[in-house]
Amino acid sequence: MPRWFSDSILIRVAVVGFVCLAATSAVGQTPTYRAPRTAGGKPDLNGIWQALNTANWDLQGHAAGAGPVPSLGAVFATPPGLGVVEGDEIPYLPQAAAKKKQNQASWVMLDPEVKCYLPGVPRATYLPYPFQIVQSQNVIMISYEYAGAVRVINMQAPTKAPAESWMGWSNGHWEGDTLVIDVTSQNDETWFDRAGNFHSDALHVVERYTPLGADTLSYEATIEDSKVFSRPWKISMPLYRRVEKNARLLEFRCVEFAEELLYGHLRKKPGN
Amino acid sequence: MSHRWHPSTAALATAILLLLFVQGPVAGQTASSTTKRPTAGKGWTTPRTPDGKPDLEGIWTNATLTPLERRKGVGTKEFYTDQEFAELARRVRNGDVGEEADIGAAAPQALRYDLSLYGFDLTKATFASNKRTSLIVGPEGVVPPMLPEAIKRNAEIAAKNKGHEFDGHENRPLQERCILLGQERLPMVASANDNNLLQIVQGPGWVAMLHEINHHTRVIPTDARPHVAPTIRQWQGDSVGRWEGNTLVVDTTNFTGLTVNFRGSGEKLHLVERFTRISNDTILYQFTVDDPTTWARPWTAEIPLTKTEGPVYEWACHEGNTMISNILRGARVAEDEAARKTAK
């Protein structure tokens, strides 16, 4: 056998083996994948990430639907989605279920996203905009493109919220390769999606970010709110790295896009 | 919401006068530390992040006793003597500052706040160690005169809105609309106001800066990449950074032409900021601004950023903005009343 042949076979075997390995770790949630470490020795979640699903339209499975403004045709129609809720059921208490229906019926009037309000957690994660994790030792910052929302996660001994807020109070810790964030003290103004899914100020969210491969994270959020739900429930989805070489968060200061809706009726009337 | 901003402070925003409430004396630091090449106490070395970069992390305040522009009468003197500074500090502590910037120092927040209500005891306040007579460096110590074309440009913008100030939300100032507040504008100049905390978080290849005011966050790449396309204009421009020795250098362009930018500048505003950790408790923040359509020459200022306690609160401005609707509603009511009177 010529020398060049055996060499190329060897190289091919090596390449195929590598590709298989890479493919295995990226696809299934192989527990064998070990995330690269930061200089500080923690799993490295730094990067710009984005969900690629329709959870922001409706956490539950949904068929495609017409958009809120008929004259806009297909452009703002609701894309269909398989849903991200475990078991596809959100366990509303009876009264809360009625409120959810009302919310959904008039979501354009009521959804805080329409008004460019801060999105709360977990919705910030799966809004159709990227977000960036800037990971340090004692804190991890998550900066969201939408409305310039931001959270600083405390990675030291847990602290208590000084006050309730739109984005809540985040204490994090590592469980193996998983970043676990406990979020409390969110106000009752935010929603989960455009389908009117909502919560109260008793909301408690536990998020889990687990690297699945170099460019994929698994995101899970367990949602607990005894005023609204009969039991805790869970959503899960992959998050994808924005791999563009020049990936950046840009300004999406949406206040100016919501002003006409909020203040337009107070404009000076012609002739006055 | 904490919409405590008041339009009258717009004028004050440039006066930049605020006491610095440091918890204790700034260790190993003197005025001369900000004169030339900043050095800290003996044996002190720049702290590093685990990946070896200068560590700028923490919560910082740019509150300072020093005005942006040097008051008239100080001449070309760039620094107060120890004696002058002590006298200045004594007068400020006693609330004896007279007219705004009379002595080149802070008219305390008592203008709008009862300081004792917020736990600020002036008699116990410690002042910044910066003995500069103005934040602007150099013999002039003032912003260079504005070019005629800039005066004309800004006058036209103002004239356009004149008589229409209350017509609709787009006629109101950006800060009132929670789009861009005075203190979140770049460069970061201290203002006679509250919520001027800055939290810096560093990840590999990026430095994030969260301003408490309006939760404005800049996530700055430090790989010296080029700016985004010139077609992308942003309220806060586009910031890209690089490390030069122990200094983080941040270059910002791509400002929008939709508003009058820093000190009357236009969309050609070019900002270079330098962040250097000069002691455990201090980052020296230097900025140079240039805009050939506004000033005949670039100008430079420096401000000590002093380490402070957190937490940084969520400053949700827009979510609680009842002010803008109240102002517009008030204007409509006044118009209706005027119309009724005329009809009588």
Rounded to two decimals, the ipTM of the complex is: 0.87
Q: Give residue A190's pLDDT.
A: 98
Q: Which of residues 264-303 of B touch A (CB under 8 A)?
A: none
Contact A148 B215 (CB under 8 A): yes
Does B127 have pLDDT greater than 80? no
Which residues in chain A have Cβ-Cβ distances shorter than 8 Å to B319?
A: 117-118, 166, 189
Closest CA to B197 of B182, B209, B180: B209
Strands (E), A160-215: 169-175, 178-184, 204-213
Give the pLDDT score at B87: 81
List Cα–Cα distances, A232 to A126, A186, A235, B323, in angstroms: 20, 17, 10, 39
Indicate whether B37 pLDDT > 50. no
Would you tell me how many other CB atoms lie within 10 Å of the CB of residue B309?
9
Specify the pLDDT at position B116.
Answer: 54
Alpha helices in A89-133 (DSSP H): 94-105, 107-110, 123-126
User: What pLDDT sits at residue A196?
Assistant: 98
pLDDT beyond 80 at B12: no
Domain boundaries, chain A: 48-264
Share of chain B above pLDDT 70, in %: 76
Instruction: Give the list of residues 6+ apart from residue B44 with CB closer than 8 angstroms, or none.
Output: B28, B279, B280
- At B242-284, the pLDDT tens digits run 999 999 999 999 999 988 999 999 999 999 999 999 999 999 9
Render the burial of B93-122: b for 16+ CB within 10 Å, e for the rest: beeebeeebebbbbbbbeeeeebeeeebeb
Report yes or no: B48 at the A interface, CB cutoff 8 Å: no
Residue B248 contacts residue B223 (beta carbons within 8 Å)? no
What does the pLDDT read at residue A71? 93
* Residue B226 CB neighbours (<10 A): 8
Q: Which chain B residues have a beta carbon less than 8 Å from that of A268?
A: 166-168, 331-332, 335
Region B25-52: what's the mean pLDDT? Answer: 61
Q: Which residue has the higher pLDDT, A121 or B9?
A: A121
Test mutation, A48, A114, A115, A134, chain B, max B CBs within 10 A: A134
pLDDT over threshold 90, residue B328: yes
Whether residue B19 contacts residue B89, with contact meaning beta carbons closer than 8 Å, is answered with: no
pLDDT of B174 above 60: yes
- Tell me the domain boundaries of chain B: 9-31+40-343
pLDDT at B1 over 60: no
Residue-wise pLDDT tens digits, B98-124: 544 444 444 444 344 455 555 555 555
pLDDT bin (cut points 50, 70, 90) of residue B61 is confident
Give the model confidence (pLDDT) of B73-88 as tens digits: 888 899 988 888 888 7
Determine the 3-state secondary structure of B246 from DSSP.
Answer: coil
Contact A134 B199 (CB under 8 A): no
- Gyration radius of chain B's alpha carbons: 21
CA distance, residue B109 to nearest chain A CA (Å):
24
Q: pLDDT grade, residue B151 (50/70/90)?
A: very high
**Mean pLDDT of chain A, nearest integer:** 91
* A208 pLDDT more than 60: yes
Q: Give percent above pLDDT 70 in chain A.
A: 88
Supply the DSSP symbol for B242: E
Query: Which site among A253, A254, A257, A265 would you substitute to test the B interface, given the most B Cβ atoms closer than 10 Å to its Cβ?
Result: A253
pLDDT at position B19 is 35
- Residues of A with CB below 8 A from B340's CB? none
Chain A residue with the nearest C-alpha to that of B1:
A165
Q: What pLDDT does A92 receive?
A: 98
- For B182-206, what is the mean pLDDT? 84
- Which residues of chain B make contact with A116, given a CB cutoff of 8 A? 318
In the stretch 202-221 of chain B, residues with CB closer than 8 A to chain A read 202-206, 208, 210, 214-217, 219, 221
Is the predicted pLDDT of residue A148 greater than 80, yes or no?
yes
Higher pLDDT, A93 or B14: A93
Contacts of A179 in chain B (CB under 8 A): none
At residue B189, the pLDDT reads 85
Residue A239 pairs with which residues in a beta bridge? A51, A217
Higher-scoring residue by pLDDT: B128, B340: B340
A262, B312: Cβ pair inside 8 Å?
no
Q: Which of A37, A113, A150, A252 to mutate to test the interface with B (most CBs of B within 10 A)?
A: A150
Q: What is the DSSP letter of B228?
A: P
- A15-24, A186-195, B293-302: least confident range: A15-24
For position B128, what pLDDT does the model report? 54
pLDDT of residue A13: 44
For residues A241-264, one letter each, b for 16 or more C-beta atoms within 10 angstroms of the residue's C-beta and e for the rest, the string is bbeeeeebbebbbbbbebbeebbe
CB–CB of B312 and A132 under 8 A?
no
Lowest mean pLDDT among A19-23, A104-108, B120-124: A19-23
